[in-house]
Amino acid sequence: PAKDTRRWVVSRKLTVVRAVVYGLISLDDALETYAISEEKFFSWVDLAAQHGQKGLRATYSQFNRQP
């Protein structure tokens, strides 16, 4: 995704997660380049691992959180 990305659609989230997981970019570089927090990044990783692509949809994570 572009460095100035502000709208994080599923495909962009997945691209960044995969890039870090497969070692194409370091976690630190991803966080700095895309101005995302470590907490947000790892929430994407967890949601993708637990629910696949659909877990990265904003509406999915908003309405399906564990109490």
Query: Which CATH number is associated with domain 10-63?
Result: 1.10.10.10
- pLDDT number for residue 49: 92
Q: Find where tokens 């927090």 sit.
A: 37
14-66 pLDDT, tens per residue? Answer: 999 999 999 999 999 999 999 999 999 999 999 999 989 988 987 655 656 65
Instruction: Quote the pTM value.
Output: 0.82
CA distances for 24 relative to 16, 27, 56, 59, 64, angstroms? 9, 10, 21, 29, 31
- pLDDT number for residue 6: 87
pLDDT at 67 exceeding the cut of 60: no
pLDDT at 9 exceeding the cut of 80: yes
- pLDDT number for residue 62: 60
